[in-house]
């Protein structure tokens, strides 16, 4: 089946720094979704991307839909402590829009 690859598993940054994370696949996706999960909670949708090459922002977050449709990037600028969490990329698979998720990147922000 389709797989989404996210690495590294963990990232550690200083408060105020920018961070970039990517998600790759061997298969084409027509939609890319980025979610954030806080401990003990469900994933929260951050950004949805629908067109190859699309660049979309949501506050300090910016995400891009790769031109090949096999990758996507999420950038967080001027990080703050509440950015701590697990960031997942996801994409719909098949006719029923069931989502395939990457394994996630755990972000830690040092004050």
Partner 1 sequence: NAGVMQNPRHLVRRRGQEARLRCSPMKGHSHVYWYRQLPEEGLKFMVYLQKENIIDESGMPKERFSAEFPKEGPSILRIQQVVRGDSAAYFCASSPREGYNEQFFGPGTRLTVL
Which of 25, 34, 102, 109 lies at the binding interface for partner 1 (CB under 8 A)?
102
* 78 touches partner 1 (CB under 8 A): no
Among 21, 47, 33, which Cα is nearest to 105's? 21
User: 53-80: buried (b, 16+ CB within 10 Å) or exposed (e) per residue?
Assistant: ebebeeeebbbbbbeebebbbbbbeebe
Piece in contact with partner 1 (CB under 8 A), picked from 27-35, 54-62, 63-71, 73-81:
27-35
Q: Is 56 in the site for partner 1 (CB under 8 A)?
A: no
CA atoms within 13 A on the CB side of 24: 3
66 by DSSP, 3-state: which?
coil
Asked if 8 is part of the footprint of partner 1 (rule: CB under 8 A), the reply reads no
11 contributes a contact to partner 1 by CB under 8 A: no
Binding part of the chain for partner 1, among 12-20, 32-40, 65-73, 77-85 by CB under 8 A, reads 32-40
Give me the phi and psi of 81, to 5 degrees please. -55, -35
Nearer to partner 1, 39 or 111 (CB): 39
Contact residues for partner 1 (CB under 8 A)? 4, 9, 31, 33, 35, 40-45, 48, 88, 90, 92-94, 96-104
């Amino acid at each position: 089946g389709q797989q989404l690859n996210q690495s590294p598993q963990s990232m550690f940054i200083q408060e105020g720094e920018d961070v970039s994370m990517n998600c790759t696949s061997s298969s084409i996706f027509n939609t890319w979704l980025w979610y954030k999960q806080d401990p003990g909670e469900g994933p929260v949708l951050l950004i949805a991307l629908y067109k190859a090459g699309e660049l979309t922002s949501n506050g300090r977050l910016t995400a891009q839909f790769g031109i090949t449709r096999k990758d996507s990037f999420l950038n967080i600028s001027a990080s703050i402590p509440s950015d701590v969490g697990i960031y997942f990329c996801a994409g719909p698979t098949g006719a029923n829009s069931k989502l395939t998720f990457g394994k996630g990147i755990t972000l830690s922000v040092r004050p």
